[in-house]
Amino acid sequence: SKGMNKGFRYTLEKEDIGNYMKLSDEEKLNWLEEVVSFTEKALTPKEKKVRDYFRDNRETVKNDEEQNI
């Protein structure tokens, strides 16, 4: 489809989603902290600027309900 060559795609297996849903709130927060820590260490300064640009320039779109993307 048009525009699919830009950005990236990420898919999860149903089993992965189920395993995440089984985690306690504390385990989910620990996982999130690990992801944030890894991301901060792995991204270059330029990549962080791009990430921050998109964070600061989100658009609101309406599907079935209003979402921020």
> Each residue of 13-69: pLDDT tens digit?
999 999 999 999 999 999 999 999 999 999 999 999 988 888 888 765 555 555 555
Q: Identify the three-state secondary structure at position 20.
A: helix
Question: 3 vs 50, which has greater pLDDT?
Answer: 50
Residue 17: its pLDDT value, please?
93
Q: Identify the three-state secondary structure at position 57.
A: coil
Residue 65: its pLDDT value, please?
57
Residue 55: its pLDDT value, please?
84
Q: What count of residues does the chain have?
A: 69
Residue 16: its pLDDT value, please?
92
